[in-house]
Amino acid sequence: MAERMLQFVSRPQAMPDKRAVAERRSDFGEIYKGFARERAEEQAARCSQCGIPFCSIHCPLGNNIPDWLKLTAEDRMQDAYVMSAATNTFPEICGRICPQDRLCEGNCVIEKGFESVTIGAVERFITETAFDNGWVKPNLPARELDRSVGIVGAGPAGLAAAERLRGRGYQVHVYDRYDRIGGLLSYGIPSFKLEKHVVSRRHDLLVEQGIVFHLNTPIGSEAGEMPLSELRRRHDAVFLATGVYRTREVATPGSGLPGIVPALQFLTASNRRSYGDVVPEFESGLLNAAGKNVVVIGGGDTAMDCVRTSIREGAKSVTCLYRRDRANMPGSVQEVKNAEEEGVQFSWLAAPEAFLGDEQVTGVRARRMKLGMPDATGRQVVEPIEGSSFVVEADMVIEALGFDPEPLPELWAQPDLVTTRWGTLKIDHKSFVTSLPGVFAGGDIVRGASLVVWAIRDGRDAADAIHEFIGAPEAEMTLAAAE
């Protein structure tokens, strides 16, 4: 039934139902159910159709949110899908995992007083409805071009670029060192936030579109790796979207003891199991939290993913140590709430001093911290409180302090590939070109650890820049062999 808009005054915000805690602690299914049709229409109709929609301004993709909310409220779902897909390559993924409280929903004007429109949940509903009805089709090119683009990295940035370039008719080849596409969508983000069939479904569409994937194909200068020079020879342009993977380690006495593991190794093992793989390091117990006292160090979304994965694997206890307080943690408020509901203990204002144990880690000695004066960046300085040490028992410690870029110029023997002082690739932000002619870059390898929605934005924009660079005039293009 079509709904009238501006219902926010009389109709409260309602999120999709969350699965019961006891049920979700024991499996890796997504914790939110999708909206039922009527609920989606009712919630979409709360939008006040702002003349200046701050939700769209704060969406990295500039989604036409008020328009697709109105179409949803009017039950014009196919039109809503077409509009939503026009600006977002993977709307059903963003609807699930964007930190909406910091982006679109956090800037919804009715947030103050009435609680925001549930934009992410409606976005997910629109595309899931489109999949259910067979409206999601591969973006097939109208005709083929004889120009090709090589893309390194099958994460959201590489895939968004590939989809857009292929839609224009380019021959698109995506190279990835992993055995599956998706990058962190596959091997970083756990299934309870993003079930793996959602990624596999997109893989099938991209293959149908004619994108060629070269998996298990690392680019680099070591034996068995494909040199970048070879890619540059094969393709008219190359897009680098390799993400950031170098783990930051805690440098304290006891570092390196068995039982201390990097976050991404732990999450990758768990995600591989969600795909149905047998993971020897999990079977051996090395990357398995079952029956263990687990301590996770860090306060970002990766740390939240680790604590919640540990709970689902059957950990005896899970404690998160973070050196700042709840109000200053980088992780999403919603994720902390979910973790607390699931039984995670948070130890705020606590930093590790030493890892204890001889053959294997047995505990973490930590000390209490306090927040001091703001530094030059405006963030309060963290200072230790003398004599406040305490010990947390631990059979497994997971380090989740963030990621830095791998040193690509050295690893790839490309001294002319210029990086910033943070090790990210330096590009011209308008054209996405790196210091190497014909080589472009985007996503986390340029921004540093960021968000999926920004990676998609970069991929789409870089694709347009590459199209402009190759600049094939219509007359020079070849017709599809099939024509």
Contact between 329 and ligand SF4 by CB under 6 A: the answer reads: no
Contact between 85 and ligand SF4 by CB under 6 A: the answer reads: no
Contact between 110 and ligand SF4 by CB under 6 A: the answer reads: yes
Contact between 16 and ligand SF4 by CB under 6 A: the answer reads: no
Contact between 193 and ligand FAD by CB under 6 A: the answer reads: yes
Contact between 119 and ligand FAD by CB under 6 A: the answer reads: no
Q: Which of 246, 179, 234 is nearest to 439 (CA)?
A: 234
Q: What is the rounded distance in angstroms from the CA atom of residue 267 to the CA atom of residue 228?
A: 29
Q: Could you give the string, one character per residue 273-302, with x where binding to ligand FAD holds by CB under 6 A and - elsewhere?
A: ----------------------------xx
CA 423 to chain centre: 20
Q: Could you give the string, one character per residue 151-170, with x where binding to ligand FAD holds by CB under 6 A and - elsewhere?
A: -xxxxxxx------------
Contact between 461 and ligand FAD by CB under 6 A: the answer reads: no
Of residues 168 through 197, those in contact with ligand SF4 by CB under 6 A are: none
Instruction: Tell me the backbone φ, ψ of residue 438, rounded to 5 degrees.
Output: 80, 5
**Binding-site size, ligand FAD (CB under 6 A):** 35
Contact between 307 and ligand FAD by CB under 6 A: the answer reads: no
Contact between 244 and ligand SF4 by CB under 6 A: the answer reads: no
Contact between 263 and ligand SF4 by CB under 6 A: the answer reads: no
Contact between 58 and ligand FAD by CB under 6 A: the answer reads: no
Contact between 436 and ligand FAD by CB under 6 A: the answer reads: no
Nearer to ligand FAD, 70 or 272 (CB): 272
- Interface residue with ligand SF4 among 31, 94, 238, 400 (CB under 6 A) is 94
- Interface residue with ligand FAD among 42, 163, 305, 461 (CB under 6 A) is 305
Single-letter residue type at 157: A
Nearer to ligand SF4, 108 or 351 (CB): 108
> Which residues of the shown chain bind ligand SF4 in the complex (CB under 6 A)?
47-50, 53-55, 59, 61, 63, 65-66, 88, 94-95, 98, 100, 103-104, 108-110, 117, 119-120, 123, 453
